[in-house]
Amino acid sequence: MNASTPFSLYMVGGCGEFGRNCMMLEQGGAALVVDCGSQFPDNPAFDVSCMVPHPDVWEQLPAPGAYVLTHGHEDHVGAVHHALAHAPAPVYGTRFTLRLIAERVAQLPPSVRRASPMVELVPGKRVELPGGIPCMPVAVTHSIPQSLALVLDFPVGPVVHTGDFKLAPPAPWHRDFLHVPASLDLVEEIRMHLQGRLPFLMLADSTGACTPLDSPPEETLSVPIEELMARVEGRLFVTLFSSHIERVRHFLRIGAKFGRQAAPLGRSMERYLDVARGEDLLPEANLTTLDKVCELPPDRQMFFITGSQGEMASALDRFSADTHQAIRPQPSDTVVFSASVIPGRERAVGRVMDRLAAAGVRVLWHSEDAPTHVSGHGSRAELHRLFSELAPRNVIPVHGSRLHLELARDAALAAGIAESFVVPDGFRAVWDGVTWRQEECPIDAVLHLENPGDSPLGPESLRFRKKAAASGVVFITARLARRGAVDLKITLAGVGDETRHAVWEREAAAAILEALSREGMQEPERTLDFAVKRFFKAETGKKPQVVVHWMD
């Protein structure tokens, strides 16, 4: 394998919509998967918990030599265990990231686990990945501990994957990597590891490309949070991404000044905070248990609660609906949203806010005058600096909607990059030593998982749920009686005006008998299906789902 060997980039997810971030880089048979995440459903009404790359995807890709994880957000690691079940390989990541997936990986069969050892990455410590690809992990600032950029030395040249990042330094109290100084400058760090070379390719996080100005450091929230706490008289609920340990520590440190003790609410929050405690990333003494916090006066209670994106059945969703088993809303409560809303989740978040307001709860969210959140993603200005100073030969934006990808591409071209282009999900980009070409590739199929337990939901089942929700279901039990007669029992569910059901059941039965008399008994189930859909199309304008149980 040499520099002229074709280099391929396969986009599995995350390039065209948010979530399910996953790509493969391959040259000369050395194939690496960078991240393997899950994705929020567009509509949670059908009890779909998330989407992951379909198992068939791994049959369309070269066998991976390794999975390399940039950080522990679910949209980057939530599908790792699903992928390993079909394409096992060693998994590389930081201690915190590996701890977050360890429980799910432990449930895989022993043969898969043996083929998929977990290997710790340490910033500044070079490792050689399977296939002979050297990898230098580089610490970056993001909204979860121990996030990485990667410098991968393929024969074609250095490939820099930024991971999710921003250029602002971490908060002075950060504990991500105690040997990495808080004054870390990402550009200089990457430049040092490139050792005078220019990157052949930069895969750049485009999530913040719609924002023109630099993303502020976490430390800029200190004064607004302290002012907020000084105004809150009752219980304080902070909803944020469970993985944002630095933000949790921020509220804990300031809450201690006001005598507030805190506890997590929600399984995800409990899991992340427990892992952070186990890795010594969360040393604050005023984080305790729910029982102990509830014993305190309201003005000393604080809770970190899941559901900042309005997720159905999250702790905040149940709290706002007054269905949470442990805690009920009170008019003296304050809920602070300390997270940005993922595009597409605005209505779900608004629904939760409205319920809280109806219960008399005070709701606070981010604004320029009273900020409660800073982004963990680099802005368009930060991307421009990264491109200008590191001068990669090629830039391919990743992690975002088509709009975000295009804006990041434009930032690269404005910075003087010779070639920058978008590779959408389901495409392969190939460098043949002279030029790039793109080929459509069936690698973006998704598997839907449902609550509880993230069990697979097949496409036909999902299609039935969607159609049933839109037009209802007609259940028919038919039995062939004596002398060729047909006994029918029809039940309607979710079809039109329920006060018309009794009439429609009788009239639909008559339409079925007429169709059977006309078309005969060669394919009775098909005849029933067509007759019922034809009848209800005329009555309601819709064709319901039809379930036929034919008894001989």
CATH code of the domain containing 477: 3.10.20.580
CATH at 272 = 3.40.50.10710
Sheet bearing 486-493, strands edge to edge: 486-493, 473-480, 545-551
Tokens describing residue 132: 């002979």
Residue 370 counted as domain residue: no
- Upper half-sphere CA count for residue 370 (Cβ side, 13 Å): 12
Same domain, 156 and 20: yes
Residue 403 CA to residue 212 CA, distance in Å, equals: 14
- Let me know whether 448 and 467 are in one domain: no
How many CA atoms lie less than 13 Å away from 146 in the CB half-sphere?
A: 24
Residue 414 lies in a domain: yes
Residue-level pLDDT at 263: 97
Q: Report the pLDDT value the prediction gives residue 178, as an integer from 0 to 100.
A: 61
What pLDDT score was predicted for residue 517? 82
Sign for the CA dihedral angle at 52, 377, 239, 103 comes to positive
Beta-carbon-side half-sphere exposure of residue 305 (alpha carbons within 13 Å): 31
Note whether residue 520 is domain-resident: yes
In DSSP terms, 26 is beta-bridged to 8, 31
Indicate whether 24 and 102 sit together in one domain: yes
Residues 61 and 202 in one domain: yes
Boundary of a domain, candidates 364, 383, 410: 364
For residue 517, report the phi and psi dihedrals to the nearest 5 degrees.
-65, -35
What is the count of structural domains for the chain? 3
Q: Along the 552 residues of the chain, how does pLDDT read in single tens digits?
A: 566 799 999 999 999 988 899 999 999 999 999 999 998 876 666 777 788 999 999 999 999 999 999 999 999 999 999 999 999 999 999 999 999 999 999 999 999 999 999 999 999 999 999 999 999 999 999 999 999 999 999 999 999 999 999 998 888 777 777 666 555 588 988 998 998 899 999 999 999 999 888 899 999 999 999 999 999 999 999 999 999 999 999 999 999 999 999 999 999 999 999 999 999 999 999 999 999 999 999 999 999 999 999 988 899 999 999 999 999 999 999 999 999 887 778 888 999 999 999 999 999 998 878 899 999 999 999 999 999 999 999 999 999 999 999 999 999 999 999 999 999 999 999 999 999 999 999 998 888 887 766 778 788 888 888 888 888 899 988 887 666 667 888 888 888 888 899 999 888 888 988 888 888 777 888 888 899 899 989 988 889 998 888 876
User: In the sheet where 446-450 sits, what is the strand order?
Assistant: 48-53, 446-450, 455-457
- Write the DSSP symbol of residue 62: P
3-class DSSP state of 22: strand
pLDDT for 462 equals 82
Sorted by sequence, the CB contacts under 8 Å of residue 382 that are 6+ apart come out as: 166, 167, 208, 214, 215
Residues 46 and 152 in one domain: yes
> Could you say which of 338, 364, 390 is where a domain stops?
364
Measure the CA–CA gap between 413 and 411, rounded to whole angstroms. 6
Of the candidates 30, 82, 63, 67, the one whose C-alpha atom is nearest the C-alpha of residue 150 is 67
Is residue 369 situated within a structural domain? no
Contact 252, 262 (CB under 8 A): yes
CA angle 309, 315, 319 (to 5 degrees): 105
Question: Comparing C-alpha atoms, which of 68, 58, 64, 71 is closest to residue 12?
Answer: 58
- 379, 213 Cβ separation under 8 angstroms: yes
| Residue 446, beta-bridge partner list | 53
251 within domain boundaries? yes
Domain shared by 160 and 197, yes or no:
yes
In this structure, the answer to whether residues 107 and 151 fall within a common structural domain is: yes
- Tell me, yes or no, whether 133 and 65 share the same domain: yes
Query: Does residue 341 share a domain with residue 255?
Result: yes
Give the model's pLDDT for residue 222: 93
Residue 484 CA: distances (Å) to CA of 488, 512, 513, 548, 549 = 13, 14, 11, 18, 17
1 within some domain: no
Tell me if 309 is assigned to some domain: yes
Q: Are residues 94 and 165 in the same domain?
A: yes
Q: What domain range includes position 274?
A: 218-364
**What Å distances lie between residue 39 and 21, 48, 514, CA to CA?**
8, 10, 48
Based on the fold, state whether residues 241 and 131 are members of the same structural domain.
Answer: no
Domain holding 147: CATH number? 3.60.15.10
Residue 356 lies in a domain: yes
Asked whether residue 199 falls in the same domain as residue 181, the answer is yes
Last residue of a domain, one of 344, 364, 384: 364
